[in-house]
Structure 1
Amino acid sequence: MSGEQSSAPEPGRTTAEGGPAIRRLAEWNADRLHELAADHGTPLYVTDLDRVAENCARLRGAFPDADVKYAVKAHTGRAVLESVRESGLGAECASAGEVRRALDAGFPGDRVDYTAVNPPARDLDSVVEWWEEHPELTITVGARDTLDRLAERGYDGRVCVRVNPGVGAGHHEKVRTGAAPKFGVPYDRAPEVVDDARDRFDVVGLHAHAGSGIHGEEDLAAHRDLVARMGELAREVGDGQLEFVDVGGGFSVPYCEDDPALDLNAVADTTREALGDVDATLAVEPGRYVVADAGVLLTRVNTVKPTPETTVAGVDAGMTDLLRPAMYDAYHAIRNLDASEGSAEGPVTVAGPICETGDTFCDGRDLSIPERGDLLAVGNAGAYGYEMASTYNSRPRPAEVSLAGDVLRERETLAGVTRLERGGGGE
């Protein structure tokens, strides 16, 4: 891997194996980001593959005896997956498409887990077909019905049972999975589901996940409660036959400029303590933690409109490029890369070109007042940024490049957006 190295940690910043624990937006080299925007245009995602590797190393350092798997849904790009694989992490996949991406990126079957959530028939068909070539692949099921559907397809391989522990946590109600009935078999029914599965499959693990963006005492307490419940269940049903107990991921990153870093080593110690003595390997599956601060979104100001309440900075990126602010009211740091020292500041609303009121990256935030043509950087865009991009309003999706300048995903064209369409006559 190549690319500009992450900057050194600031004085007093907590560090761990794998580089600085926090990478703030201010630490990205403005000159380099200007060069990339000039070469590739905007909107543009920039991904630092070296930072991906650093984050993987820090996770492995905090969880040296655990099986660390990357939640692929956070960023499925081939270069990122290859970096994760080279760093020694496995791949936890939420769809058949993600399984295919992981295999194509070189993950061996024994490092790929498919966590099937109400899986469509075509997904099961595909994964079972690939399992025949990769028999060490593991399928995690969250419903007894899914066991039946796998058996109907001739699958008799490795199965992990996902449990709903009744404990949820995370940064937004839409990502708190641990108590949502959509995910996993009810905790009190898990032993009978495990017994049923053992009659037909090779049951190798148990799985649960509290949610995404876990941070703060309340969230960490919920995570600790989940892990403890999974330890109890493993001791009840394990009987020496389980390979692993997967307690999910969801480890947070500091989106706000003043938020502290997650004490990953403390979380790891707490996780091991809560799990207790089990005859199985602890497994975790972080996604956001691996890639969030390894990516920024660059966008160019095209319209500046003063209003009595705020200066509206219209930019060429929108909710189709980065959905999190519109969907979760998520905060992302924003930096004007053209602002000079002493530039006037005031309440600024950064708004995209989509015909929706919610298409804003911030509302009335205290920022350097931009001018037309200024380049803005949106921080922590590496997780669930490009992955949630869409073509709403017939807007092609942005390009993605590495910090070294390699094109990782080409910019979509309007012809690409419409390539699958046909007229009413089939032409």
Structure 2
Amino acid sequence: MTTDDPPPIRRLSEWDAARLRDLADEHGTPLYVIDQGRVRENVANLEQAFHAEAISYAVKANTVRTTLETVADTGLDAECASAGEVKRAVEAGFEAVRYTAVNPPAADLDHVVSLSDAVEDLDLVITIGAADTLAALEERGYDGPLAIRVNPGVGAGHHAKVTTGDAPKFGVPFDRVPDLASDVLDRGFDLVGLHAHAGSGIHDEDDLQAHRELVARMGELARDLDHDLDFLNVGGGLGVPYRPDEAPLNLDRVASATREAAGDLDATLGIEPGRYVVADAGVLLTTVNTVKPTPETTVVGVDAGMTTLLRPAMYDAYHEIRSLAPDADDREATAATVAGPICETADVLGRDRPLPAPERGDVLAIGNAGAYGYEMASNYNSRPRPAVVSLDGSESELAVERETLSDLTRLEIEQ
């Protein structure tokens, strides 16, 4: 790596505290901040390591319009899991879109099929994970390229809830793929690829070994099919270090291992990272509203909670938390449990964290919030969703407005 190469990870300590405080003052909290420059750096890291492979961005990681436009401008393709994501990707300027349908609702298929004819020069591939979806596409008159999502029986990821490669919900069972491929061709469809995905947040050696096993199985399957494919996509899920003492992935090593596991292919090998592109490009800012000493811990109540950042409650995920108080370095450290305003015991963003003695009005920053942060925000407890600010160099702009209490009932019909 030369001195001009972007660093492999951006730690929470590297964000400019004064600038983040200014953004919190200007826009209020809770507030997501996404750095488009870091998004580009992460894409550059991926392209340097996976230079021979096709890279698609897993749109579900972050669909904020400015972020999608940034990724589209780098030249990556888009991988989408819903009609809404396809719509967002097309409107953001992606020229090549793969719709990976997971038990797709009829309305999703209607929209995506209509786009295949309505959007000029759109390179659209629909990936099916069940024979039923093939029949549904045939009923709608779809005649574009298809790929098959395979269940290779190999899963990995940071939590059981995001391990997909061995879950029956995802993909066609490995041994049934040749028969489905023959059926696709017999019905006159253009079978262009195979797809599989081990899971999300692949980071440790066990996860990487599972990823290599999945790739090896998929490479074998691609060679055994009596049909030439354009691509073999082996998914994404590349993890990032959420804890400050964790090392980042060695992308060159992962890329080499992926190529080696795939073996000789006539098809292009592809990956679809999402988290790696955006996670460390985003932080969540939140303001302390309550400091409550208890016999067990000091509870630090903040205005962000599980409706703002769901991952800790959903996956027991760890996110680093940093005080942005100007005099933070002069305060004595306190073991704090950072909790939100939601009426749930699960509404905790971090337990027993060493923080400079917190005070009401302090702004805290929560790291690695660019992936699956704003995407999973909800209105539970009738709480409005937060605003999003986009940074690009010295410039900043509001990318998503903060919801208001009036927005919560905007779609409701008065009787």
Q: Provide TM-score, normalisation by structure 2.
A: 0.96
| 2:30–2:284 contact (8 Å) kept in structure 1 | yes
Q: State yes or no: 1:127 paired with 2:118.
A: no
- Alpha-carbon distance change, 400 to 350 in structure 1, aligned in 2, over 3 angstroms: same
Q: Which residue of 1 aligns with 2:67?
A: 80
- Structure 2 distance, partners of 1:258, 1:231, is 35
- Structure 2 distance, partners of 1:16, 1:63, is 19
Q: State yes or no: 1:405 paired with 2:405.
A: no
Structure 2 SS opposite 1:312: strand
- After superposition, the C-alpha distances for 1:172-231 in whole angstroms (9 at most, x for unaligned) are 000000000000000000111111111231100000000000011110000000000000
Structure 1 SS opposite 2:368: coil
- After superposition, the C-alpha distances for 1:288-310 in whole angstroms (9 at most, x for unaligned) are 00000000000000100011111
Q: CA deviation at 1:342?
A: 3.6
Q: CA deviation at 1:369?
A: 2.1
User: Share of identical aligned residues, percent?
Assistant: 65
Which of 364, 367, 378 lines up with 2:355 in the alignment?
Answer: 367
Which of 348, 352, 368 lines up with 2:336 in the alignment?
Answer: 348
- Structure 2 distance, partners of 1:358, 1:18, is 40
| 1:321–1:389 contact (8 Å) kept in structure 2 | yes
- Equivalences for 1:28-107 in 2 at 5 Å? 28-107=15-94
Q: Which residue of 1 aligns with 2:232?
A: 245
- After superposition, the C-alpha distances for 1:327-383 in whole angstroms (9 at most, x for unaligned) are 000000000011522411121000000000110101122222210110000000000
- Structure 1 distance, partners of 2:98, 2:3, is 28
- Structure 1 distance, partners of 2:345, 2:4, is 43
Q: CA RMSD in A?
A: 1.2
Q: Which structure 2 residue ranges, 5 or more long, are not aligned?
A: none
| 1:16–1:58 contact (8 Å) kept in structure 2 | no
| 2:232–2:268 contact (8 Å) kept in structure 1 | yes
Q: State yes or no: 1:420 paired with 2:411.
A: yes
Structure 1 SS opposite 2:155: coil
Which of 308, 332, 339 lines up with 1:321 in the alignment?
Answer: 308
Q: Which residue of 2 aligns with 1:6?
A: none
Q: Which residue of 2 aligns with 1:221?
A: 209
Q: CA deviation at 1:133?
A: 2.5
| 2:134–2:184 contact (8 Å) kept in structure 1 | yes
- Structure 1 distance, partners of 2:3, 2:86, is 31
| 2:280 alignment partner AA | D
- Structure 1 distance, partners of 2:323, 2:353, is 13
Q: State yes or no: 1:203 paired with 2:191.
A: yes
Q: Which residue of 1 aligns with 2:220?
A: 232
Q: Which residue of 2 aligns with 1:7?
A: none
Q: Which residue of 2 aligns with 1:153?
A: 140
Structure 1 SS opposite 2:167: coil
| 1:17–1:58 contact (8 Å) kept in structure 2 | no
Q: CA deviation at 1:107?
A: 1.1
Q: State yes or no: 1:19 paired with 2:6.
A: yes
Which of 81, 92, 103 lines up with 1:118 in the alignment?
Answer: 103
- Structure 1 distance, partners of 2:3, 2:217, is 29
| 1:415 alignment partner AA | S
| 1:309–1:347 contact (8 Å) kept in structure 2 | no
Q: How many pairs are equivalent?
A: 408
Q: Which residue of 2 aligns with 1:377?
A: 365
Structure 2 SS opposite 1:85: helix
Which of 254, 257, 265 lines up with 1:267 in the alignment?
Answer: 254
- Structure 2 distance, partners of 1:415, 1:303, is 26
- Structure 1 distance, partners of 2:206, 2:378, is 34
| 1:114 alignment partner AA | Y
Q: CA deviation at 1:261?
A: 0.5
- Structure 1 distance, partners of 2:45, 2:135, is 40
Q: Which structure 1 residue ranges, 5 or more long, are not aligned?
A: 1-13
| 1:46–1:297 contact (8 Å) kept in structure 2 | yes
- Structure 2 distance, partners of 1:136, 1:260, is 37
Structure 1 SS opposite 2:99: strand
- Structure 1 distance, partners of 2:291, 2:397, is 32
- Structure 1 distance, partners of 2:209, 2:215, is 10
Q: Which residue of 2 aligns with 1:3?
A: none
Structure 2 SS opposite 1:113: strand
- Structure 2 distance, partners of 1:205, 1:311, is 54
- Structure 2 distance, partners of 1:278, 1:107, is 27
